[in-house]
Amino acid sequence: MKPYHYVLLFLLCVIAPFILPDYRTQLALLWVMIVLALSWDILGGQMGYNSFGNIIFFGVGMYACAVFQRDSGLSYYPALLIGMGLGGLFAMLTAALLGNALLGMRGHYFAIGTLGLGVAAGELAGGWDYIGAGSGMTTPLFPGELANRDVFFYFLFFAWALVGFLGLRWLYRGRFGLAINAIRDDEDKAESMGIHTTRYKVTAWIFSALFLGVIGGGAGNLIGFIDPKDVAFSGPTFGVWMILMAITGGKGRLWGPVVGAVVFHFTQELFWTLLLGWQRVALGLLIILIVLFFPEGILGWIAQRFPQRAAAKAQLDDKSKQAS
């Protein structure tokens, strides 16, 4: 992609809610999905650690934000923004605590270890009166006109997705990205070369939690009602989707989760509209087809199909890196 492609894409994102006014909520939700996929890919794609429990950070952020909005006494906008920040902070703390315990395990053991996280968190939240227990929490009403609500959330989430995308692009280009790639390829070798593997692994999870916690705080407000099991710690929906989106697009590639999220979200809504009652079946079939025929995801398939283009790009990148 050339620079003007990025500019065009950016402009398209800016005008999208105005040319498609009926789909504003869905478009806002699309940015949530992109952040979910991008943050899962930090561990799942770049580091080779499949986490099935990342949904916990989403839910922690959601609750932290909602509690702050309920109890702070601030007006809507400052309470929301500070709340989302706090959501990120609490999610990061959760990741630091869990990371030191779980990231000592490798490969499948880590994956299984994370499997119960979302379930346990949902049960705990469902039994805690301070955060509404089983009846959940309702987020404050948007103060302005209802029509502006979705536009506001669209741009809020767009901004955070952009921060996430550019932040990850920067991280992956530095030694941090190289280190987590090394852990993916051969963790024993990385250790024998003296790399502080555990430190990198926990840091990577904390970044993942930051992006999820902040977007979780916002997503709770977009949805309007926080149910402990069906919204906040919803493993079967958001928790699984973030993995599917990253794999669909091509895990371990910066653009993979973005492409995956867009394709996934659109097909999901399409199925919901056209095949009501069978939408989950259709989605399941689609996932099976993707895993069977595109195991490396859409972008991975393209890279295999047009290897010369990928190789030329690698050399160009290299030259521009040396020039800068």
- Provide the token pair at 17: 């809610």
Read off φ and ψ for residue 194, nearest 5 degrees.
90, 5
Which of 127-132's residues contact partners 24+ apart within 8 Å by CB, and which partners?
130/67, 131/63, 131/66, 131/67, 131/228, 132/226, 132/228
Q: β-pairing, 137-138 with 225-226?
A: antiparallel
- Provide the token pair at 107: 């490969």
The nearest distance, CB 123 to another protein, in angstroms, is 37
Does position 320 bind another protein by CB under 8 A?
A: no
Asked if 249 contacts 34 with a C-beta cutoff of 8 angstroms, the reply is no
Does position 230 bind another protein by CB under 8 A?
A: no
Which CB atom, from 280 or from 309, has the smaller least distance to another protein? 309
Which CB atom, from 71 or from 318, has the smaller least distance to another protein? 318
The residue type found at 270 is: L
The nearest distance, CB 70 to another protein, in angstroms, is 36
CA count, 13 A, side-chain hemisphere, 57: 33
Residues 35-64 that bind another protein (CB under 8 A): none
Cβ neighbours for 142, distance < 8 A, ≥ 6 positions apart: 76, 148, 149, 152, 221
Which CB atom, from 182 or from 226, has the smaller least distance to another protein? 182
Q: Give CA–CA dist 239/255, Å, rounded.
A: 20
Q: Give CA–CA dist 9/258, Å, rounded.
A: 13
Which CB atom, from 273 or from 315, has the smaller least distance to another protein? 315
Choose the stretch contacting another protein; rule: CB under 8 A; options: 104-112, 143-151, 209-217, 309-317.
Answer: 309-317
- Please count the residues of this chain forming the interface with another protein, following the rule CB under 8 A: 30
Read off φ and ψ for residue 138, nearest 5 degrees.
-105, 135
Does position 319 bind another protein by CB under 8 A?
A: no
Residues 159-218 that bind another protein (CB under 8 A): 170-171, 173-176, 178-179, 181-182, 184-186, 188-197
Residues 245-304 that bind another protein (CB under 8 A): 252
Which CB atom, from 193 or from 274, has the smaller least distance to another protein? 193
- Provide the token pair at 280: 């989950």
Residues 109-168 that bind another protein (CB under 8 A): none
Of positions 9, 71, 112, 318, contacts another protein by CB under 8 A: 318
The nearest distance, CB 185 to another protein, in angstroms, is 4
What sign does the CA torsion over 251, 249, 88, 122 have? negative
Q: Is 105 helix (H, G, I), strand (E, B) or coil?
A: coil
Cβ neighbours for 288, distance < 8 A, ≥ 6 positions apart: none
Which CB atom, from 73 or from 194, has the smaller least distance to another protein? 194
The nearest distance, CB 318 to another protein, in angstroms, is 7
Site of interaction with another protein (CB under 8 A): 170-171, 173-176, 178-179, 181-182, 184-186, 188-197, 252, 311, 314-315, 318, 321-322
